[in-house]
Structure 1
C-alpha cells in the first residue's frame, strides 16, 4: 500500500466495486462531471464498470483509497494515460460523498505524485478538471500543480458546456512535503 498522511492507496478489492459503483457511478450528476462521455447505466457485476480492474492494462493504474486509521474505503484514484515514451500521466480521483471535505483529496494527489514521480519515474503529471471543481483545484495547487490553461466550453455536462482547467506538475518542481 502507498501511504499518505491520512489515506492509503491499495489494490482494488472485489467488495470495493459495488460501493464505488453505487456512490460514484450511479450518482448521475457526479459521474457526468467526472467522465469524458455521457453517463449510461452499468449493471452491477458488469465488466464495463470503470471500477473493474484489468491487470493487463499497463497504461491505467487504479487504486482504492482507504483511511489509514481504520481501512474504511473513501474513494477511488487512478494514474491513467501513462505514456512511457514521454514519461507522463494523468491523475484522477473520486471520493465517496461522506468522505468529501476532509482533506483526503489533497492527500490522494500527494500520494499519486509520489507514485508517479518516485515509483514510476515519470517526468510530468497532469490534471484536467471542471473550472467549478474548487476542491480538486485546491488539492492540485496545494501539491504544486500549476494552472497551464483553460479549455473553454470543452466539456458537455448535464445540458451545458463547461470550461476545463488544465494543470501540470513536473518532477523537478515537485516537493514531497508540499501538502501544507
Structure 2
C-alpha cells in the first residue's frame, strides 16, 4: 500500500473544514440552485474549462456523478463565509490518485461581491491542509489559463509553482490559448510560513 493511500477503499466522510475567513462544508443537493446561478454568469465562468451556462438538469446530472464519487476520487466542498454562513463558491479535488499521492484542484467563487477579499486564497489554503494533512497527498496540481492573472497570483500566494506551459491547449473564445500547470508539494506545504487550519482559533 502506498504511504499516501487510505487504509480503506470505502468512501471517506467529508468533514467541515475551517479557515480564517471561510469554512468548507460538503456539497449537498440543496446547493444546485446556487451552482446553476453561478455558472450561468459569464464573468464567473470566463476562465473555467467547462461548457457553460449550465441548466438545472445538467447540474443535477453533475451532482449525481459528483455524489457517487464523493469521498473516493473526488472531494467537493461549498465555500461559506464564517461571518454569516453565506455560500459564495465551490472548491474541491478531482482526479484523486491515492496510489501516487496526487490530486487535481479546482475552485470557483460564484458570488462576485466576494471577489478580491482573500476568500479564495483562504479556501485554497484550507483545502490544501486537508489534502496534505488528512488525505496524505504528496502533490496537488491545477491548470490555469495563462491570461488569468488574478488566479495565478492567488495560487502563487498559496505556495504553488509553475511546472510548465501546455501550449495552445484549450480553444477559448475563438482562439487557442496556453494553459499553465502549477503544483504544490508536501514538503513545500510544510514549509509555508502560516498556521495550518487545525491550528487556527
TM-score exceeds 0.5: yes
Kindly indicate whether residue 99 of structure 2 is the aligned counterpart of residue 93 of structure 1. Answer: no
For 1:32 and 1:116, the matched residues in 2 are separated by 27
- Which structure: greater helix fraction? 2
For 1:50 and 1:158, the matched residues in 2 are separated by 27
SS at match of 1:34: coil
For 1:5 and 1:165, the matched residues in 2 are separated by 28
Aligned length: 177
Kindly indicate whether residue 147 of structure 2 is the aligned counterpart of residue 132 of structure 1. Answer: yes
Kindly indicate whether residue 84 of structure 2 is the aligned counterpart of residue 83 of structure 1. Answer: no
2:138 matched residue in structure 1: 123
For 1:128 and 1:45, the matched residues in 2 are separated by 23
Kindly indicate whether residue 56 of structure 2 is the aligned counterpart of residue 65 of structure 1. Answer: no
Asked if 2 retains the 8 angstrom alpha-carbon contact of 1:32 and 1:158, the reply is: no
Gaps of 5+ in 1: none
1:43 pairs, out of 52, 56, 59, with 56
1:142 pairs, out of 144, 153, 157, with 157
- Greater shift in the superposed pair: 86-95 or 159-168: 159-168
Asked if 1 retains the 8 angstrom alpha-carbon contact of 2:25 and 2:77, the reply is: yes
For 1:14 and 1:173, the matched residues in 2 are separated by 35
Q: Once superposed, what is the RMSD of the aligned Cα atoms? A: 2.2
SS at match of 1:153: strand
Offset at residue 120 of structure 1 (A): 0.2
SS at match of 1:109: helix
TM-score (norm 1): 0.87
Q: Which entry has the higher C-alpha Rg, 1 or 2?
A: 2
1:4 matched residue in structure 2: 19
Gaps of 5+ in 2: 1-15, 196-201
Offset at residue 13 of structure 1 (A): 3.0
Offset at residue 94 of structure 1 (A): 0.3
